[in-house]
């Protein structure tokens, strides 16, 4: 019986180690002011960080690098140092290129449809009947895209919110991120907009 018990303990420890290896990595954003690109106005600090480097992308998206698939993920960290709650449910993020061209953020739920199969390819079968080719899974259909997206609706006093906005563009020298729609939750008065350089 002791031999059987030892084998069971060994099996359970191996299974636990394997399961722990498969758990998603924990991703934590740093303080907003610690990012090279940040701005403070009205006691609210916003830091931004574009994730274009493959090694940096691994920390948030694992094996997936959205930038290689035509999607620019930008981490946004908002710190509320006021004594009021801030509404974030109407936040808008716009990428502005060096020549003024604008790209609105793609909702995280729609990213999985980008660069993916639009419709099945048809392969002629016997007697002219079409057969549907097997579709490959779109790599952008990963839980990290929606799971790491900016989703906070309210930001209480003294708290921090963070997450990614996704843009269908490449990172250009001189580009900025324009954030608007933040508002005082009590008065509904909109805060100043933020225009933060991305490079």
pLDDT tens for each residue of the chain, 199 residues long: 555 444 544 444 554 444 444 455 678 999 999 999 999 998 999 999 999 999 999 999 999 999 999 999 999 999 999 999 999 999 999 999 999 999 999 999 999 988 644 444 444 445 445 555 454 678 888 899 999 999 999 999 999 999 999 999 999 999 999 999 999 999 999 988 999 999 7
pTM value? Answer: 0.78
Q: Quick one: 31-113+144-197 is in which CATH superfamily? A: Gamma-adaptin ear (GAE) domain (2.60.40.1230)
Enumerate residues 6+ apart whose C-beta is below 8 A from 46. 32, 38, 39, 40, 76, 77, 78, 79, 179, 194, 196
Distance CA 187, CA 111 (A): 34
Q: What pLDDT score was predicted for residue 139?
A: 85
**Long-range contact pairs involving 120-126 (C-beta distance under 8 Å, separation at least 24):** none
For the chain, give every domain's residue range: 31-113+144-197
**Look-up of token digits 């991120």:** 177
């Amino acid at each position: 019986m002791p031999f059987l018990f030892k084998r069971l303990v060994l099996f359970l420890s191996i299974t636990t180690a394997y399961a722990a290896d498969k758990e998603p990595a924990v991703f934590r954003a740093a303080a907003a002011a610690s990012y090279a690109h940040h701005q403070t106005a009205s006691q609210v600090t916003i830091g931004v960080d574009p994730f274009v480097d493959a090694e940096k992308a691994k920390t948030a998206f694992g094996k997936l690098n959205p930038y290689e698939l035509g999607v620019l993920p930008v981490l946004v960290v908002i710190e509320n140092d006021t004594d009021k709650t801030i509404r974030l449910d109407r936040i808008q993020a716009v990428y502005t290129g060096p020549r003024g061209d604008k790209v609105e953020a793609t909702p995280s739920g729609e990213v999985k449809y980008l660069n993916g199969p639009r419709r099945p390819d048809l392969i002629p079968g016997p007697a002219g009947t079409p057969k549907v080719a097997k579709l490959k899974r779109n790599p952008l259909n990963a839980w990290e895209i929606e799971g790491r997206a900016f989703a906070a609706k309210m930001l209480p006093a003294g708290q921090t919110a963070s997450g990614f906005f996704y843009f269908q563009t490449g990172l250009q020298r001189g580009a900025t991120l324009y954030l608007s729609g933040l508002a005082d939750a009590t008065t509904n008065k909109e805060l100043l907009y933020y225009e933060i350089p991305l490079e």
